[in-house]
Amino acid sequence: MSAEPSPAADGPGAAAGTADPVLFEERLWPSFWIWLVAAGISGAVILIFAPIDVVIGYVAAGIVAVILAVLLVTSTPRITVTAGLLQVGRAQIERRYIGSVEDFRGEDATRQRGPELNGTAYLCIRGWIDPVVKIEITDEADRTPYWLASTRRPAQLVAALTAPAPA
């Protein structure tokens, strides 16, 4: 299986349509400070339009705030593990093609995202989430050596991926 995006893979209830129970699920929501940055950008729009008209500034700021909120929510990836499938963002792979799984935190995570990163790896990383999980791909037809995914619950994701699939 390759890391090809599936059109319906990231929609609501994507795993609910399968017969497999969900073993792990997480949304990589933006941190509080990202929302503060978005609010600051929206507030700055008022300063841009205030010389023209203060009302136009507030309306433009409101529009920018809505656009930024929609972009942040719609770009939030989901990690889902079922008995037979792993989905990270828009990519999915059958669990039978998963090899070793490791979690990294702190400086180890920084090295995995930087100097030790393989350029052909599939990435679903978010700058506001420090821990990452490295998932080896064993499918010989797939040129991707591993997936690297941010997660706030690395130990639980590793446990879900390394546990024997329920019958």
In angstroms, what CA-CA distances link 20 with 3, 135, 155? 20, 20, 21
Q: Is residue 70 located within the same domain as residue 89?
A: no
Q: Is residue 56 located within the same domain as residue 118?
A: no
| Residue 130 forms part of a structural domain | yes
Report whether pLDDT(72) > 90.
Answer: yes
Place of tokens 């792993």: 86
Q: Is residue 88 located within the same domain as residue 110?
A: yes
Contacts of 138 (CB under 8 A, 6+ apart): 97, 98, 99
Which one has a higher pLDDT value, 18 or 36? 36
Which one has a higher pLDDT value, 163 or 63? 63
C-beta atoms surrounding 60 within 10 Å: 18
Order across the sheet with 98-104: list the strands: 98-104, 132-137, 146-150, 122-124
Report whether pLDDT(3) > 50.
Answer: no
Q: Determine the Cα angle at 31 with ends 93 and 39, to 5°.
A: 125
pTM above 0.75, yes or no: yes
Q: Tell me if 93 sits within 8 A of 1, measured CB to CB.
A: yes
| Residue 7 forms part of a structural domain | no
Range of the domain at 109: 82-162
pLDDT for position 20: 80
Q: Is residue 101 located within the same domain as residue 124?
A: yes
Place of tokens 């009302």: 55
pLDDT for position 6: 39
At residue 4 the predicted structure's pLDDT band, cuts being 50, 70 and 90, is: very low
Tally the domains of the chain: 2
**pLDDT (mean) for 78-87:** 94
Instruction: List, for residues 35-70, the tens digit of each pLDDT value.
Output: 999 999 999 999 999 899 999 999 999 999 999 999
pLDDT for position 55: 93
Instruction: List, for residues 100-135, the tens digit of each pLDDT value.
Output: 999 999 999 999 999 999 999 999 999 899 999 999
